[in-house]
Structure formats: structure tokens, C-alpha cells
Amino acid sequence: MAIVKDLTGQRFGRLLCKSQAGKNKRGDILWECVCDCGNTCFAASTSLKRGRTKSCGCLRNEYLHKPKVGKKTHGKTNSRLYAVWRGMKQRCNDPNSDNYYRYGGRGISVCDEWVSDFTAFEKWAMENGYDETAPQGKFTVDRINNDGNYEPSNCRLVDMKTQYHNRNLPKSIKEISEEHGLTYDAVHQRMKKGASIEDALKKPLRKKVKVLINGQHKTVKELSKESGVPESTIYYRVKIGLSGEDVIRV
């Protein structure tokens, strides 16, 4: 039988071992410990020796609730302008992007000031008259020199008509959609229903809605697929105040 090393009186992080307290289900020796915060807990000797257990749990709680120091997130990932910025980088940097050959493939890039800092791009857009609440086609980022890069000195905000009159290369619907922060599917479906390209770009995307059912948050698309209830019906029910299973009752 292996000799059990006495840990009584030894300190591991914030824990001070008091006495042996049996074994856990895996057969590890347990020790009753007193934490510096005053709580009593039980820890396996292997966890104590290997440094995996250093407190009663208070150390982890302090870390989780400690104010994060450093760069704060901008909280704009769902905005139209963020989608425009992301699409701009994809066209220039991602060879898998459908329109890469028109941008990155031609040597067009996003300047250092913008490529890794959305807030810098947002600041430029706001200083040049961008309005998140304006119609979709009102403000779009246009490169003055079509062969130049995306950078403050070569970009401006113009309405859609001005932008496309200044183009030498024809654009695909997908490319136009990305530049306006919309998905190709949304614009394509609107045009199939008879909308012009201008009107298809003006209507903002419907915000994603999640419904809490049985402890799980699910999107309208997921609920529609599972229940067979049309997405438009679920959106309407949520809009009038229904929740939970009431939004998918047949």
C-alpha cells in the first residue's frame, strides 16, 4: 500500500491543509483545507500538489468579476457600418471571397489605419457625414480612384447613384450588397419580388430575433424549421408580445 504523505499544515496557494478527509470517487486522498477568505473546502492531494486547486473557488470568482483592463470592444458588430468594414476587408484580403479578383486580386488593399481598427474607420465615416439611420443607399463608401486603395485620402461617402456612375467595372449584386452591409440573399430576394436595385438596397436587414423556449435561445429560422410555422408568422407573434411556445403554436 502506498504511503500517504501528510500535508497537514502545508500551504497551497490560499489553502492551508488541516486534516485528511477520506477519498473521492477516483480514490484520491482528500484534505480538509481552510482558505484565506475563511471558507472551508475539500481538495484532492494530487490537485493541491500540481497547483490545480489554489483556493476554495474565491480566486476564480475574483478573476471573473475583475474589471477587464485593456482594449474595450466597440459594441458595433451588428451595425451596418461594421458589415461594410468587414466586407471591405474580405474583398481585399480573402482569396475565397467571390469578388477578391476585383480587389485584392488587382492589388487593392485596406490601409493600415483601417484594416485592424474598426473605430478608426467609423471615426472617418462619421466625420464625413455617415448616418447609421439614413436609408441604405444614402451613404456608401466610394473609392475616388477605382485603382487605388481603401484609405482616407482615396475614399468618400456618396449616394449610390453617384458611386455607380463613377465605375469602370460592372458590379455583381453580391458585390453591391457587401458594400452596403447587406447579404446577397436579402437583396436578391427583394429584386425577385420586383424591387429595383436602388429600392432593394434601401431597406435595412431584419434584426435577428431569438426566442427563449425550454431554457434555450433559438433564432426564428431555427424555430420555423423545427415547428413548420412560417418565419413571418413567428416574427409577427414576437412583435405583438408573445413569447415561449406561444410563438410556434400551430
User: pLDDT for 214-226, tens place per residue?
Assistant: 778 888 788 888 8
Which of 54-63, 86-95, 189-198, 221-230 has the lowest average pLDDT?
189-198
Give the confidence band of 250 by pLDDT, cuts at 50, 70, 90.
low
Check residue 180 and give its pLDDT.
66
Q: How many residues does the chain have?
A: 250
**Who wins on pLDDT, 51 or 64?**
51
Does the pTM surpass 0.85? The reply is no
Average pLDDT, the chain: 78
Check residue 138 and give its pLDDT.
56
Q: Are 33 and 47 in contact (CB under 8 A)?
A: no
Give per-residue pLDDT as tens, 88-121. 898 888 888 777 888 888 888 999 889 888 999 9
Give the confidence band of 47 by pLDDT, cuts at 50, 70, 90.
confident
**Who wins on pLDDT, 158 or 8?**
8
Listed by start position, the domains of the chain span 11-65, 80-202, 210-248
Check residue 169 and give its pLDDT.
47
Cα–Cα distances in Å, from 247 out to 146, 210, 216, 225? 49, 11, 14, 13
Cα–Cα distances in Å, from 85 out to 19, 21, 91, 193? 60, 59, 10, 28
Check residue 152 and give its pLDDT.
92
Check residue 56 and give its pLDDT.
86
Q: Are 39 and 61 in contact (CB under 8 A)?
A: no
User: Rounded to the nearest 5 degrees, what angle is found at the Cα of 177, between the Cα atoms of 92 and 133?
Assistant: 110
Check residue 18 and give its pLDDT.
92
Whole-number Å distance between alpha carbons of 224 and 235: 10
Residue 36 CB burial class (10 angstroms; 0-12, 13-18, ≥19): middle
Check residue 32 and give its pLDDT.
92
Does the pLDDT at position 72 exceed 60? no
Q: Which of 69, 83, 71 is nearest to 122 (CA)?
A: 83
Cα–Cα distances in Å, from 116 out to 132, 143, 147? 21, 19, 22
